[in-house]
Amino acid sequence: MAKDVYSLCFMCTVRCPIKVTVEGDRILWIQGNPFVAGIEGSLCPKGVSAIALLEDDQRLKYPMIRTGARGSGEFKKVTWDEALDYVAQRLKGIMETYGPQSIVLGERTNLSTHVSKTFLRAIGSPNHFTHDALCKGSNNTAFRSLFGYTDAEVGIDYANTKHIVLYGRNIFEAVEVKAVNNLLDAMEKGARLTYIDPRVTTTATKAHRYWMIRPGTDLALNYALMHVILKEGFYDKEFVDKWVVGLKELKEFLEPYTPEWAQEETGIPSREIILLAKELNEQRPHVIFHPGYRAASYTNEIYQRRAILMLNVLMGSIETKGGLFFKKGPGEVGKKAPRKLTDQEGLPKPKQVRFDKVGTPNFPLPDPNHGVPQMLAKAILEEDPYPIKALIANRFEPLLSIPDRSATLKALEKLELILTVDVNFSDIAWYSDVILPESTFLERIDCVQQANGLKPQLFLRQKAVSPRYDTKEYAVIIKELAERLGISQFFPYNTMEDLVRWQLEGTGFTIEDFSKKGFVAYTDQQIFWDRFNGLKLKTPSKKIEFKSSLLEESGFPSFPEYEPVKRPEGNEFRLVVGRCVLHTHVSTQNNPYLNELCPTNVVWINSKRAKDLNISDGQMVKITSPQGSGVLKAFVTDLIHPETVFILHGFGHESKGLKRAYGKGVADALLQANVSDTVGGSPGLHETFVTVSAEL
Partner 1 sequence: MSKYMLLQDKSRCIGCLACTIACKINKGLGPGPKPVDVISLGPILRDGKILGQFVFMPCFHCEEPWCVYACPTGAMKKRPQDGIVYVDQSLCVGCKSCIYACPWGAPQFDIEKGKVVKCDYCKDRLDSGQLPACVSICISHCLKFGPANEIEDKRRRRYAIESSQFPTQ
- The torsion angles phi and psi of 411, rounded to 5 degrees, stand at -65, -40
Q: Is 31 in the site for partner 1 (CB under 8 A)?
A: yes
Q: How far is the CB of 186 from partner 1 (least distance, A)?
A: 10
Q: Distance between CA atoms of 198 and 176, rounded to whole angstroms?
A: 22
- Considering all CA atoms of the chain, what is the largest pairwise distance in Å, rounded to the nearest integer? 71
* Sole binder of partner 1 in the list 477, 582, 623, 670 (CB under 8 A): 582
Q: How far is the CB of 41 from partner 1 (least distance, A)?
A: 6
**Which candidate, 318, 329, 358, 327, places its Cα nearest to that of 530?**
318
State whether residue 281 is helix, strand or coil.
helix
Stretch that binds partner 1, among 37-45, 117-125, 371-379, 467-475 (CB under 8 A): 37-45
DSSP3 helix / strand / coil % (the chain, rounded to 5): 35, 20, 50
Nearer CB in complex with partner 1: 116/590: 590
Q: Is 511 in the site for partner 1 (CB under 8 A)?
A: no
* Sole binder of partner 1 in the list 13, 35, 40, 124 (CB under 8 A): 40
* Sole binder of partner 1 in the list 11, 22, 44, 393 (CB under 8 A): 44
Q: Is 635 in the site for partner 1 (CB under 8 A)?
A: no
Amino acid of residue 662: Y
Q: How far is the CB of 198 from partner 1 (least distance, A)?
A: 13
545, β-bridge pairs: 245
Terminal CA-CA length for the chain: 59
DSSP 449-500: EEE-BSS-EEE-PPP-S--SSS-B-HHHHHHHHHHHTT-GGG---SSHHHHH
Q: Is 47 in the site for partner 1 (CB under 8 A)?
A: yes
- The torsion angles phi and psi of 562, rounded to 5 degrees, stand at -75, 130
Size of site (CB under 8 A) for partner 1: 42
Strands 620-624 and 572-578: unpaired
Q: Distance between CA atoms of 668 and 648, rounded to whole angstroms?
A: 8
Q: Is 200 in the site for partner 1 (CB under 8 A)?
A: yes
Q: Is 205 in the site for partner 1 (CB under 8 A)?
A: yes
**Which candidate, 123, 85, 84, 127, places its Cα nearest to that of 105?**
127
Q: Is 48 in the site for partner 1 (CB under 8 A)?
A: yes
Amino acid of residue 259: P
Nearer CB in complex with partner 1: 209/378: 209
Q: Is 206 in the site for partner 1 (CB under 8 A)?
A: yes
Element (H, E) at 264: helix 259-266
> What would you report as the CA-atom Rg of the chain, rounded to the nearest whole angstrom?
25
Nearer CB in complex with partner 1: 32/137: 32
* Sole binder of partner 1 in the list 177, 372, 388, 487 (CB under 8 A): 177
Q: How far is the CB of 294 from partner 1 (least distance, A)?
A: 19
Q: Is 210 in the site for partner 1 (CB under 8 A)?
A: yes
Stretch that binds partner 1, among 36-44, 74-82, 532-540, 679-687 (CB under 8 A): 36-44
Stretch that binds partner 1, among 48-56, 92-100, 239-247, 483-491 (CB under 8 A): 48-56
Stretch that binds partner 1, among 206-214, 375-383, 426-434, 558-566 (CB under 8 A): 206-214
Q: What is the distance of C-alpha 69 from the center of its chain? A: 33
Q: Is 202 in the site for partner 1 (CB under 8 A)?
A: yes
Q: How far is the CB of 35 from partner 1 (least distance, A)?
A: 15
From residue 157 to residue 176, the character string flagging contacts with partner 1 as x (rule: CB under 8 A) and all else as - is: -----x---------xx-x-
From residue 111 to residue 150, the character string flagging contacts with partner 1 as x (rule: CB under 8 A) and all else as - is: ----------------------------------------
Q: How far is the CB of 440 from partner 1 (least distance, A)?
A: 16
CB neighbours (10 Å) of residue 314?
Answer: 30
Nearer CB in complex with partner 1: 594/661: 594
Q: Is 184 in the site for partner 1 (CB under 8 A)?
A: yes
Stretch that binds partner 1, among 47-55, 109-117, 397-405, 500-508 (CB under 8 A): 47-55
Three state DSSP letters for 165-200: EEECCCCCCCCCHHHHHHHHHHHHCCCEEEEECCEC
Q: Is 52 in the site for partner 1 (CB under 8 A)?
A: yes
Nearer CB in complex with partner 1: 159/586: 159
Three state DSSP letters for 231-248: HHCCCCHHHHHHHEECHH
Amino acid of residue 212: M
Element (H, E) at 20: strand 17-23
Nearer CB in complex with partner 1: 38/437: 38
Residues 6+ apart with CB under 8 A from 654: 399, 427, 430, 662, 663
**Residue 332 DSSP one-character state:** G
Q: How far is the CB of 205 from partner 1 (least distance, A)?
A: 3
Nearer CB in complex with partner 1: 283/344: 283
Q: Is 181 in the site for partner 1 (CB under 8 A)?
A: yes
**Which candidate, 584, 681, 538, places its Cα nearest to that of 153?**
538
Q: Distance between CA atoms of 111 and 132, rounded to whole angstroms?
A: 14
**Which candidate, 167, 206, 210, 211, places its Cα nearest to that of 186?**
206
Element (H, E) at 51: helix 50-54
Q: Is 45 in the site for partner 1 (CB under 8 A)?
A: yes
Q: Is 532 in the site for partner 1 (CB under 8 A)?
A: no
User: Please, what is the angle between helix 496-504 and helix 474-484, to 10°?
Assistant: 100
Nearer CB in complex with partner 1: 31/523: 31
Nearer CB in complex with partner 1: 29/532: 29
Q: How far is the CB of 145 from partner 1 (least distance, A)?
A: 34
Half-sphere exposure of 531 (CA within 13 A, CB side): 20
Amino acid of residue 48: V
Stretch that binds partner 1, among 46-54, 64-72, 226-234, 469-477 (CB under 8 A): 46-54
Q: Is 43 in the site for partner 1 (CB under 8 A)?
A: yes
Q: Is 42 in the site for partner 1 (CB under 8 A)?
A: yes
Stretch that binds partner 1, among 35-43, 388-396, 418-426, 561-569 (CB under 8 A): 35-43
* Sole binder of partner 1 in the list 51, 78, 275, 381 (CB under 8 A): 51
Binding residues for partner 1 (CB under 8 A):
29-32, 40-45, 47-49, 51-52, 162, 172-173, 175, 177, 180-181, 184, 188-190, 200, 202, 204-207, 210, 581-582, 592-594, 596-597, 638-639
